[in-house]
Chains A and B, each alone.
Chain A
Amino acid sequence: MNEHKTKRSILASIVPNFKSLARKGPSGWMVIFGLSIVLALVMMTALGPFVAPNDPNRTNSALITLPPSPQFPMGTNHLGQDMLSRILVGGSLMLQVSALSVLICFAVGVPLGLFSSYVGGIPDRLVSLVVDAVYAFPGLVIAIAVAAMLGPGAINMALSISVVYIPSYFRIIRSQVLTIKELSYVEAAKAIGAKWYTILSRYIFPNVIPSIVVVMTVNFADAILTAAGLTFLGLGVTYDIPDWGWDLTNGKQYIASGSWWIIMFPGLMIILLALGFTLVGEGLSEMLNPKLQK
């Protein structure tokens, strides 16, 4: 029961309410703005199926590549599908895959970072070596390689994206733990006889959380772009559900012929979503940094 209360109070200290955020100056505004974008898009995706004017999957060969008009505010694509409806519904795959990959990253990267840096010595050096090697690769290249190996499917997409970002979690946590390890309160914990897992979970982990939150949000943004990239290259899901990345892929052939709307609207949505998360991440990191420095 005590663990519960601690978790809630930690959460309470991370999730500030809007009023105090606004007072914190430009970084607070960034967070508010970013959160608003993200929440708006999430809501849009959630409500999309109920609000969409047309069935996003219904094809109509008579209505192909129509430019934006009052009837089809975002035009139609090469299959005659209503772009607006596809946009309203198409974020769901992207959001789910990114969220899943962030979760996997957290579940793998955080413990790995904590243990490796706490133990130190040769094991830590070896793990860091491997992680740095992965980190050195351009993200998309790894994602492509892993996705190609694993094959199509939403979960596989999430996994391939996770591999790219686990090193980020590892490195940030490791640098924090290495600093915290030397502080007196960890020594004090040892002096009162705490076991190593208690020290890690109750003394070190809570103090690392702020930086993890920042990494999570920025990685969410990156994950969205990578997911879009994978789908764009045809390595994502193959079943035909409306998806921004999928529309992006299909839209590229039609730019030359002047049907700009097929690729533009999905592209804008992806950028917007990534922007939202990035703003939150940047704002949070700015807000948390001066406090840490104090």
Chain B
Amino acid sequence: MNTSKRVFATSEIVKVEQLKKYFPVHRSFIEQMVTRKKSYVKAVDEITFSVRKGEIFTLAGESGCGKSTTGKLILRLISPTSGKIYLNGMDITRSKGEKLRTLRRQMQMIFQDPYASLSPRMKIGKAIKHPLEISGTTKGKESGKAVLEVLEKVGLTPAHKFVNLFPHQLSGGQRQRVALARSIILKPSFIIADEPVSMIDASLRTTIIDLLLSFRKELGLSYLFITHDLAVAKYISDRIAIMYLGKVIEIGSKERLFVNPLHPYTQALLSSIPVPNPERKKKAVELQGDVPSAINIPEGCRFHPRCPFARFECIRKEPELVEVERDHSVSCLLYWNR
């Protein structure tokens, strides 16, 4: 894979380069006086990937791997410690203030908790209209029309009835559709969906997922989909990146990653996923121990303490992403010499 750093393919809508986010660990007053050594939670530890136009790119991993933090970094809700973020070819790493607000029209976010992502004291119509007011692109009657239109798009009809309701009068699935409506009203080109269906009943998830898929075609959207549920990831994604302890350890197309998982962690992960079939008896790959804390990341390959294939060199060298087959890269010393 050509990792040309300066040239952007026009087909890339978002790109992150060597992105890092370290959170300083809060120290008590006495600790600050006694030791000079600072410790950090290395939430995101140098990751590089790009999202192509019109694709659904999934960032998958278990809790604490850094996927949500990555989403917030891209949306610039928090500032990176180092590295670069590009949106439509523009460097937005250090964007602030008014410039950042204008950028926000191009990218939006949907959050995990439908019960917390809408202000309880704001009517649905107001909540959806607010992005329009901020951007000033439409006013008055036109805003009202835009709100009704977008409510119909997400299937909340009759729209004029929903406009005056409060969030607590809606179900979780409906609230998530409101959140979706709010995020598309400014016609962005890129949406980050952070676990959008994890807190919704299984029988209602497909509604949201299908909306996301249909908007891809209809509104020309590209997505960064963040999830811990690989079964959902397989259903919706074009490409998937697996994260572990702040690093991307494997990226591949849906076709290749699930058929041929390369990284031992990916293999363990996929084998642990419950299969809704009582006639299948499978044995999950056993992994020792638990995920270590992001403050004390293991030396060398951060997965080596739990890896069933760990070798001596895995403690000394931290591997990098290398392409093993077309559109499928892995960060593991097992594949370095191929």
Contact = CB atoms under 8 A, between A and B. Distances in A.
Within the complex, are A and B direct neighbours (CB within 8 Å)? yes
Interface of A: 6, 9-10, 13, 183-185, 187-195, 198, 202-203, 206-207, 209, 294
B122 A187 contact: no
Interface of B: 72, 75, 77, 100-102, 104-105, 108-109, 111-113, 116-123, 126, 130-131, 134-135, 168, 179, 182, 186
A185 B123 CA distance: 13
Nearest to A291: B168
Contact of B182 (A9, A183, A192, A198): A192
B104 A207 contact: no
Given A183-B116, A193-B134, A188 B121 contact: no
B108 A191 contact: yes
A192 to B, nearest CB: 4
Contacts of B134: 192-195, 198
B120 to A, nearest CB: 6
A294 B123 CA distance: 18
Nearest to B131: A192
Given A195-B134, A202-B130, 9 more contacts: A13-B121, A183-B116, A184-B116, A187-B117, A188-B109, A193-B105, A193-B134, A198-B134, A207-B121
A192 B119 contact: no
A192, A202, A294 interface centre (most CB from chain B within 10 Å): A192
Contacts of B122: 202-203, 206
Given A193-B105, A193-B135, A202-B122, A188 B112 contact: no
30 contacts: A183-B116, A184-B111, A184-B112, A184-B116, A184-B117, A185-B116, A187-B111, A187-B117, A188-B118, A188-B182, A189-B119, A191-B75, A192-B108, A192-B131, A192-B182, A193-B100, A193-B102, A193-B104, A193-B131, A193-B134, A193-B135, A194-B134, A195-B101, A202-B130, A203-B119, A203-B122, A206-B119, A206-B122, A207-B119, A207-B120
Contacts of B116: 183-185
A30 B72 CA distance: 46
